[in-house]
C-alpha cells in the first residue's frame, strides 16, 4: 500500500499497522546491464550480433503489451508475438522487469541509451 507522506503519521497511529516503510521508486539501469552480462565481450569474442536468432521470454509483461507503434522504439519490428498468459488479455509490464529482461536479450539498444542521455 502506498500513501501520501502527510498521511503517514495517521496511518502509523492505527494499532493494526505494525510497520511503515518509505517507498523508493524503481528505475531501470540498462546502461550498466550490458557490462554486467558482458555483451561486448560476447559480441567481440564470438562474433555474435543476434542476426537470425529467435528468442522467447516469459516474464512480467512487455512494455505497454501491444506490438504496435506505441511499443518502445528498441523493440519495434523485432517482436513476432506477445502472449498474455499470467493476466489473460493483458500483456502490459506491471513493474518493468519483463521489459528490462527483453531489452537485455533482444533490443537494439538505441532508444534505451537515448532515454538515459548516455549515447556517445
Q: What is the mean pLDDT of residues 77-86?
A: 86
- For the record, the C-alpha cell of 25 comes out as 521508486
Domain segments of the chain as ranges: 28-115
Residue 27 has pLDDT above 90, yes or no: no
pLDDT for the residue 29: 64
Judged by DSSP in three states, 54 sits in coil
Q: Which residues of 14-27 are buried (b: 16+ CB within 10 A; e: fewer)?
A: eeeeeeeeeeeeee
Least Cα distance to 112 among 11, 14, 39 occurs for 39
Confidence of residue 109 (pLDDT cuts 50, 70, 90): low
What pLDDT is attached to residue 31?
65
Residue 92's pLDDT band (cuts 50, 70, 90): very high
Q: CA-CA distance, 47 to 39, in Å (whole number)? A: 11
> Residue with C-alpha cell 531489452?
103
Q: State residue 116's pLDDT score.
A: 42
Which is higher by pLDDT, 115 or 5? 5
Q: Tell me the pLDDT of the chain averaged across its residues.
A: 78
> What is the C-alpha separation between 11 and 103, in angstroms, rounded?
39
pTM equals: 0.55
Residue 2 burial (10 A CB sphere; 0-12, 13-18, 19+): exposed
pLDDT bracket for residue 30 (50, 70, 90): low
DSSP state of 7: G
Amino acid at each position: 500500500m502506498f500513501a501520501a507522506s502527510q498521511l503517514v503519521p495517521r496511518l502509523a497511529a492505527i494499532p493494526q499497522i505494525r510497520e511503515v516503510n518509505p517507498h523508493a521508486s524503481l528505475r531501470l539501469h540498462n546502461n550498466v546491464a550490458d557490462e554486467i552480462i558482458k555483451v561486448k565481450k560476447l559480441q567481440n569474442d564470438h562474433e555474435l550480433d543476434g542476426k537470425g536468432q529467435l528468442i522467447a521470454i516469459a516474464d512480467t509483461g512487455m512494455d505497454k503489451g501491444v506490438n504496435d507503434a506505441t511499443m518502445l522504439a528498441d523493440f519495434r519490428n523485432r517482436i513476432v508475438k506477445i502472449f498474455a498468459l499470467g493476466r489473460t488479455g493483458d500483456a502490459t509490464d506491471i513493474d518493468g522487469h519483463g521489459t528490462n529482461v527483453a531489452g537485455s536479450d533482444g533490443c537494439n539498444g538505441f532508444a534505451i541509451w537515448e532515454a538515459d542521455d548516455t549515447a556517445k
